């Protein structure tokens, strides 16, 4: 399986990738964002040193209890980071974390508005992390024009609006139909299959049991032949299972979700605590690989 993102290529199977979350906002649900692009760049550097393969930069919180920002504000927040990113990578003095870390790393832009994507993709970014569920072809068309990859996430309705009432008789059957439709839409828009990733949308328009079912049955989505990203970090479902209301207390639960996802073949994990995730992925991946064949002596 091949993933193309701008000039980068990643071939699977390989050790799963770790995507580090960097927020240029001050209302992230996890409490780790900053409106200062310099702070965001320093955090991105720290994540790369800790083993991140992908940096996911976003300027607007997905929280539905926070007002949406304007397109102009979103672009204004993103521009300084995008402009400084090439120099950060070019001046990176440290060697890769290990031989399996992607280098150069993939830069993901977490946005869903076509107007924003149209303005920022010419400035950089290898991947668009679109939480809108691709309601029309426009975002796929823009990615095709710029040779960028597109992450299609399952959700219901427009972002920034609560969808806590949604339930599914069979969430995996819903995901199956959804991704079949969206992959066809992306193809029609001119985006090649090699530039598409899929995200089942943990916690987005889903209840506790829906999320747990996705972890149990994620391997059903491998039929699409595209890399699967699990946004596992500090999710509400972890708080529900562990009775932990504070997202920052959920990192151990996040590692447990990484283990569950890796067992079902997830290729990418989106996290806040990169160091813990990268170490967990490295150890877990080694436990899945065949060891040397024992030979008898005598």
User: Distance (Å, rounded) from C-alpha 166 to C-alpha 213?
Assistant: 15
Question: Which phi-psi region, left, alpha or beta, contains residue 265 (left: φ > 0; alpha: ψ -120 to 50)?
Answer: left
- The secondary structure of residue 222, as a DSSP letter, is G
Answering whether pTM is above 0.85, one says yes
pLDDT at 92 > cutoff 80 = yes
Give me the torsion for CA of 166, 237, 130, 215, rounded to 10°.
Answer: -100
> What pLDDT score was predicted for residue 159?
62
> What pLDDT score was predicted for residue 161?
60
User: Distance (Å, rounded) from C-alpha 206 to C-alpha 229?
Assistant: 17
For the chain, list the domains and their CATH numbers: 15-285 (3.20.20.20)
How many CA atoms, within 13 angstroms, populate the side-chain half-sphere of residue 85?
Answer: 25
Q: How many helices (H) and strands (E) does the chain have?
A: 9, 10
The per-residue pLDDT for range 212-236, each reduced to its tens digit, is: 999 999 999 999 999 999 999 998 8
Computed over every residue of the chain, the mean pLDDT equals 89
Instruction: Determine the 3-state secondary structure of 3 from DSSP.
Output: strand
């Amino acid at each position: 399986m091949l993933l193309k993102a701008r000039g980068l290529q990643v071939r699977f199977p390989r050790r799963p990738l770790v995507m580090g979350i960097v927020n240029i906002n001050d209302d992230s649900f996890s409490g780790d964002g900053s409106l200062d692009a310099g702070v965001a760049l320093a955090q991105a550097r720290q994540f790369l040193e800790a083993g991140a393969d992908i940096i996911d930069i976003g300027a607007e919180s997905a929280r539905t209890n926070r007002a949406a920002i304007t397109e102009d504000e979103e672009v204004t927040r993103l521009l300084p980071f995008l402009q400084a990113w090439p120099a950060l990578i070019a001046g990176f003095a440290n060697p890769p974390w290990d031989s399996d870390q992607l280098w150069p790393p993939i830069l993901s832009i977490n946005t869903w508005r076509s107007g924003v994507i149209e303005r920022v993709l010419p400035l950089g970014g290898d991947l668009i992390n679109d939480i809108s569920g691709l309601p029309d072809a426009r975002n796929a068309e823009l990615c095709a024009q710029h040779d960028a990859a597109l992450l299609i996430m399952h959700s219901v309705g427009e972002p920034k609006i609560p969808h806590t009432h949604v339930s599914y008789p069979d969430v995996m059957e819903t995901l199956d139909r959804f991704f079949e439709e969206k992959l066809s839409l992306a193809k029609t828009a001119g985006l090649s299959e090699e530039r598409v990733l899929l995200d089942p949308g943990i916690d987005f328009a889903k209840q506790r049991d829906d999320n747990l079912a996705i972890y149990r049955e994620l391997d059903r989505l491998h039929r699409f032949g595209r890399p699967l990203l699990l946004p596992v970090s500090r999710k509400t479902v972890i708080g529900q299972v562990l009775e932990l209301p504070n997202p920052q207390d959920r990192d151990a639960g996040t590692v447990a979700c990484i283990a569950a996802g890796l067992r079902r073949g997830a290729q990418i994990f989106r996290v806040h605590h990169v160091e813990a995730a990268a170490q967990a992925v490295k150890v877990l991946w080694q436990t899945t690989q065949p060891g040397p064949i024992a030979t008898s002596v005598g």
